[in-house]
Structure 1
Amino acid sequence: MTAQPETLFGGDEYGADDLTHLEGLDAVRKRPGMYIGSTDSRGVGHLVNEIVDNSTDEGVAGHATHVEVTLHPDGSVQVDDDGRGIPTDINARSGLSGVELVLTRLHAGGKFGGSGYKTSGGLHGVGASAVNALSLRFDVTVSRGGKVHRMSFRNGVPGVFDGDGPDAPFTPEPGLHVVGRMKRGASTGTSIRYWYDARYFEAGASLDVEAVRAKLRNTAFLVPGVTYVLRTPDEDGKLRAETFVYPHGLLDMVDFLAPAGEKPVCGTLTITGEGTYKENAADENGVMRANVERRAEVEIALRWGTGYERTVECFTNTIRNQHGGTHRRGFERAAVRAIGDAIRNTRGLLRPKEDPPTVEDVLEGMTAVLHVRIPEPQFTSQTKDELSTAAITKVTQGVVEKALRAWVDDRKTRTEARTVLTKIVEASRVRLTQKQQKDAARRKTALEGASMPPKLVDCRSTGVARSELFIVEGDSALGSARMARVAEYQALLPIRGKILNVQKANLADTLKNAEVASIVQVLGAGTGRTFEPESLRYGRVIIMADADVDGAHIRTLLITLFAKYMRPVIELGRLYAAMPPLHKVMTKGRNAETIFTFTQVEMEQTVARLERAGRQVVTPVPRFKGLGEMDADELWETTMNPATRSVRRITMQDVDAAERALDLLMGEKVEPRRQWLVESAKRVDRDAIDA
């Protein structure tokens, strides 16, 4: 029998000759979507953007003041600028002119750390060459050094066309040609005209004129020193011009983007600043350097209006980032933190126990434009829809947070800032009210036909994730808890005394117990193998029992119930035990204070510390015999307020050990438990017994 060679993928032989190396612009033509984002109408529009961005980079660098885009009746696109012009001299490494190099080689250009540009939008060195590769005809004219240079391409191949239009006879021929001298007083610059090749795009794909108009308008806002002109053919084929120039930059852009008819709540706030960050980057020789220091410039304009819509436009080096990115993330974090702190520190805005606003509330009615300028930005794709340079989050956050805090505190803007803060708080309340209504309707639907125990004090619910069920020991504690709770998301279920020890009982006997049945019914997720965690009606279950021996026994019985019949509640980290205090240490005098302690030792140490400091302590120190002895404020502050309470999360990190402990302490066999008690008695410190 003859051995067969190893094969891959269904038996086909696969060798080195099957590998393909795409050279030059072949990769663009083979996979155009990788370079221009898509092959539909958006891809056609992206070709225009790439050429315009290169002209804009000249304007940002201070070398161009005029960019003109012409959409010819024959379908071609022409972009002219009065910048320095693409370099026409010979590149020493490639032996090609600068024009041919940047238009026929991927990742070639003046934006890779040289002295050509400080920041740029066309930073990958792919845009112009990709447009060239996907064009039936591509003409470039460069006015530079007193001469006019010209070169043409067909699908990226240099040559000469004998006539006008893409269908003219074409002869391949390398090299840049001088076709004349510049007229006296004429400006330098670059002119590019191309006819894109429809074969590389989907059927029906076409250039969206409105998208081009929006591109030029946005760029004019971002680069106030440059005038943009769009020429489009009318019904008669004659070109008509639209001019875009905005001397006030982002201020003009905010006015343009704000919803029509909406009244501003405040004046437009401008934020400018810069910051440094470090990242690993390659030098001109391609050697990776660690902790290269970068400088980022941040420019933002924003205002709040009376409406509900939010518009936040993001740009990096004049390139629109449709999906935002790290600069927007830093902006939102700063806005939430600075505005949230201002609201908390302004008397009369927040009600007691009311949560601060979220990012949705802060952004409601806001119109904002974010623009950052950074060297060598990183994007999630060649289309630059989302900035991914991680360090920009911190830079933007620092600049914005500092400016917003100053705006709130400034005497000149304090009044309008207060108006904005009030609007944001009201937006938060409306959002919560709407959410409560939706959740109440959802809860009602889920519970139709199910009769809840009458003793359940349910919450209005703002969603399962936030809701809490307190299993409360005794009716006396229920009274204080009922007044202390936040009815929006805290529910109460009182139990009387000690529930059944389920470790000694079967499931049928367990469910006959009224207290256990109430707990199972209220949680709504079943028991045992049929337990469904996704059906749990509350995000957290908190056992709230007295801080004494009986309270500890009740907690143990309840934990046993969950461990045996509702274990996923523990495994998901959703079962907690409240930690109510034992003592209330109070001092006398003008600066009287109250300190709650949780053990006898902690109380004694606290009293000793206060007396050493010269404070007079009320004696004897009051001790809580049960939860019912606390008033509503004390219970809220010490046991129920998520911001100040202490709770223990019940976990089962070692399931086998937990099973053995439950079986030993709560199981049917008495003798092992008695033996454990006798042996453990030796470790008890009689003086530490709190009796």
Structure 2
Amino acid sequence: SGYKVSGGLHGVGASVVNALSTTLDVTVHRDGKIHYQAYERGVPMADVEVIGETDTTGTITHFVPDPEIFTETTVYDYDLLSSRVRELAFLTKGVKITIEDKREEKEQKNEYCYEGGIKSYVEYLNRSKEVVHEEPIYIEGTKDGITVEVALQYNDSYTSNIYSFANNINTYEGGTHEAGFKTGLTRVINDYARKKGIFKESDPNLSGDDVREGLTAIISIKHPDPQFEGQTKTKLGNSEARTITDALFSEALETFLFENPDSARKVIDKGLMAARARMAAKKARELTRRKSALEISNLPGKLADCSSKDPGISELYIVEGDSAGGSAKQGRDRHFQAILPLRGKILNVEKARLDKILSNNEVRSMITALGTGIGEDFNLEKARY
């Protein structure tokens, strides 16, 4: 069953490695015998020969990248390779993968094996976060020869982390399987909320962004004939992958929600909070847009502006407190240096929702003073400094 699907499309991967290496040696344990062949820059040094007997199976490949081709570097990054090996172990549950660095002064070794597969992957990604429900939701199904695995868990953050894979290849640009997952997630959660009377008939549905806020998810499909967009295998293009992922995931998720009402309610409450914040942020943005024209002529009262209107030479100094502001105002060049004192510890905007950001007076003062606008209205050419 391990040979039914592959990340490769044309069967030339090993041949390309051979062609791009100064030397390549292959040792194969198969059918009770050990077979061996060596190459130099893609040319076999001799025919395949039997060099012994064995009671195991497996392949050992040793190659040295050609520095005449890889002119920037031929030095391997252990941390990068180790991260990829760990990812493969998560995606192939129960398989132990070992990576060992035998270079002088760098000797290190890691073994990875995860019986929980992508469920363990989600737990690993959420290890430093506060989760909304203890157990990740895990779903697996097969249809028309395509196997779909999904694991997801919500945390208390405001962003989503969704990683999709096709035949163990990281499709970080997404694709049809990821689109099917997102469509199914939004539809099933809204349908469940209405069936359970959580939403009133007049209430709008949660948006895709609402139901994905704080979501960590892994989507892994095994497809016998994957079609990728472009040459880099970063985006899956099979149309059937979307419908099958949607169908398998939706059915299993709906069952999970009805069987686990406590977890379901926590997920929906998380989405409702996101929706309220989204609507509040929308109102705050509209208010910011309406005021923007007025605020240019009505700059923050605590701003000590400069006389120059040329943003090419004008400078803005942001200082903490009125006392620092007073000293800065005395020592500045009024021609091109402006001073904006802020009160107290400013809001950490990286961890705050947009509605809270835009309701903060100190942040609003900075937005107004800079003059560029924010979000969709951001225009660097309008910068005042």
Q: Same fold (TM over 0.5)?
A: yes
Name stretches of at least 5 consecutive residues in structure 2 with no aligned partner: 298-376, 378-385
Shift in alpha-carbon separation, 1:127–1:438, aligned structure 2, 3 A: same
Shift in alpha-carbon separation, 1:404–1:147, aligned structure 2, 3 A: closer
For residues 568-606 of structure 1, give each alpha carbon's deviation from its aligned partner in whole angstroms, at most 9, with x where no partner exists: xxxxxxxxxxxxxxxxxxxxxxxxxxxxxxxxxxxxxxx
1:442 corresponding residue in structure 2: 289
| AA aligned opposite 1:262 | E
CA contact (8 A) 2:21 2:41 kept: yes
- The Cα shift of 1:205 comes to 6.6
Shift in alpha-carbon separation, 1:353–1:443, aligned structure 2, 3 A: farther
For residues 246-297 of structure 1, give each alpha carbon's deviation from its aligned partner in whole angstroms, at most 9, with x where no partner exists: 1121221111111513233352111111222xxxxxxxxxxxxxxxxxx211
Shift in alpha-carbon separation, 1:433–1:150, aligned structure 2, 3 A: same
Identity among equivalent positions (%) equals 33
1:399 maps to which of 234, 248, 257: 248
> 1:266-277 counterparts in 2 under 5 A?
266-276=134-144
CA contact (8 A) 1:266 1:304 kept: no
2:270 maps to which of 423, 432, 437: 423
Shift in alpha-carbon separation, 1:202–1:435, aligned structure 2, 3 A: farther
1:177 maps to which of 38, 49, 57: 49
| AA aligned opposite 2:213 | E
Name stretches of at least 5 consecutive residues in structure 1 with no aligned partner: 1-59, 62-116, 160-172, 277-294, 451-534, 536-691
For residues 466-498 of structure 1, give each alpha carbon's deviation from its aligned partner in whole angstroms, at most 9, with x where no partner exists: xxxxxxxxxxxxxxxxxxxxxxxxxxxxxxxxx
Shift in alpha-carbon separation, 1:425–1:225, aligned structure 2, 3 A: same
Shift in alpha-carbon separation, 1:449–1:193, aligned structure 2, 3 A: closer
393-402 or 206-215, larger mean C-alpha shift: 206-215
CA contact (8 A) 1:328 1:393 kept: yes
Structure 2 residue 207 is the aligned partner of structure 1 residue 358: yes
Q: Report the Cα distance in structure 1 between the residues aligned to 2:283 and 2:158, rounded to whole angstroms.
A: 19
Q: Report the Cα distance in structure 2 between the residues aligned to 1:131 and 1:363, rounded to whole angstroms.
A: 40
- The Cα shift of 1:440 comes to 2.1
2:173 maps to which of 309, 323, 328: 323
Q: Report the Cα distance in structure 1 between the residues aligned to 2:190 and 2:257, rounded to whole angstroms.
A: 11
CA contact (8 A) 2:149 2:221 kept: yes
SS of the residue 1:370 aligns to:
strand
2:26 maps to which of 140, 143, 150: 140
- The Cα shift of 1:326 comes to 0.8
1:344 corresponding residue in structure 2: 194
For residues 48-68 of structure 1, give each alpha carbon's deviation from its aligned partner in whole angstroms, at most 9, with x where no partner exists: xxxxxxxxxxxx62xxxxxxx
Shift in alpha-carbon separation, 1:204–1:432, aligned structure 2, 3 A: farther
Q: Report the Cα distance in structure 2 between the residues aligned to 1:380 and 1:348, rounded to whole angstroms.
A: 40
CA contact (8 A) 1:137 1:195 kept: yes
CA contact (8 A) 2:172 2:235 kept: yes
SS of the residue 2:291 aligns to:
helix
> 1:355-504 counterparts in 2 under 5 A?
355-410=204-259, 413-446=260-293
- The Cα shift of 1:181 comes to 1.3
Shift in alpha-carbon separation, 1:348–1:251, aligned structure 2, 3 A: closer
SS of the residue 1:143 aligns to:
strand
2:65 maps to which of 196, 204, 217: 196
Shift in alpha-carbon separation, 1:432–1:207, aligned structure 2, 3 A: farther
1:262 corresponding residue in structure 2: 130
1:49 corresponding residue in structure 2: none
1:597 corresponding residue in structure 2: none
| AA aligned opposite 1:220 | A
SS of the residue 2:68 aligns to:
helix
| AA aligned opposite 1:207 | Y
| AA aligned opposite 1:189 | G
1:130 maps to which of 1, 6, 16: 16
Shift in alpha-carbon separation, 1:327–1:348, aligned structure 2, 3 A: closer
2:309 corresponding residue in structure 1: none
CA contact (8 A) 2:152 2:217 kept: yes
- Using CA pairs under 8 Å that are at least 6 residues apart, name the structure with larger relative contact order, 1 or 2: 2
- The Cα shift of 1:446 comes to 4.5
Aligned residues between the structures? 298
- The Cα shift of 1:212 comes to 1.0
| AA aligned opposite 1:406 | T
Q: Report the Cα distance in structure 2 between the residues aligned to 1:326 and 1:232, rounded to whole angstroms.
A: 37
Q: Report the Cα distance in structure 2 between the residues aligned to 1:273 and 1:158, rounded to whole angstroms.
A: 44
1:225 corresponding residue in structure 2: 94
- The Cα shift of 1:313 comes to 1.5
Q: Report the Cα distance in structure 2 between the residues aligned to 1:234 and 1:134, rounded to whole angstroms.
A: 22
| AA aligned opposite 2:22 | L
2:154 corresponding residue in structure 1: 304
Shift in alpha-carbon separation, 1:190–1:355, aligned structure 2, 3 A: same
Shift in alpha-carbon separation, 1:265–1:349, aligned structure 2, 3 A: farther
Q: Report the Cα distance in structure 1 between the residues aligned to 2:220 and 2:181, rounded to whole angstroms.
A: 11
Q: Report the Cα distance in structure 1 between the residues aligned to 2:293 and 2:12, rounded to whole angstroms.
A: 56
SS of the residue 1:337 aligns to:
helix
| AA aligned opposite 1:177 | E
Q: Report the Cα distance in structure 1 between the residues aligned to 2:69 and 2:124, rounded to whole angstroms.
A: 36
| AA aligned opposite 1:130 | V
| AA aligned opposite 1:315 | F
Q: Report the Cα distance in structure 1 between the residues aligned to 2:213 and 2:296, rounded to whole angstroms.
A: 39
Q: Report the Cα distance in structure 1 between the residues aligned to 2:270 and 2:10, rounded to whole angstroms.
A: 43
CA contact (8 A) 1:266 1:417 kept: no
- The Cα shift of 1:213 comes to 0.9
- The Cα shift of 1:206 comes to 4.2
Shift in alpha-carbon separation, 1:435–1:199, aligned structure 2, 3 A: farther
2:79 corresponding residue in structure 1: 210
Q: Report the Cα distance in structure 2 between the residues aligned to 1:435 and 1:259, rounded to whole angstroms.
A: 32
CA contact (8 A) 1:266 1:305 kept: no
CA contact (8 A) 2:142 2:248 kept: yes
- Compute the TM-score of the two structures, normalised by the length of structure 2: 0.71
SS of the residue 1:198 aligns to:
coil
| AA aligned opposite 1:124 | H
Q: CA RMSD, aligned part only?
A: 2.4
Shift in alpha-carbon separation, 1:137–1:318, aligned structure 2, 3 A: same
- The Cα shift of 1:337 comes to 0.8
1:288 corresponding residue in structure 2: none
For residues 30-77 of structure 1, give each alpha carbon's deviation from its aligned partner in whole angstroms, at most 9, with x where no partner exists: xxxxxxxxxxxxxxxxxxxxxxxxxxxxxx62xxxxxxxxxxxxxxxx
- The Cα shift of 1:364 comes to 1.2
Q: Report the Cα distance in structure 2 between the residues aligned to 1:343 and 1:228, rounded to whole angstroms.
A: 42
Larger radius of gyration: 1
Q: Report the Cα distance in structure 2 between the residues aligned to 1:381 and 1:157, rounded to whole angstroms.
A: 31
Shift in alpha-carbon separation, 1:315–1:445, aligned structure 2, 3 A: same
| AA aligned opposite 1:399 | L
| AA aligned opposite 1:335 | L
| AA aligned opposite 1:437 | A
Q: Report the Cα distance in structure 2 between the residues aligned to 1:308 and 1:234, rounded to whole angstroms.
A: 42
SS of the residue 1:200 aligns to:
coil
| AA aligned opposite 1:431 | R
SS of the residue 1:271 aligns to:
strand
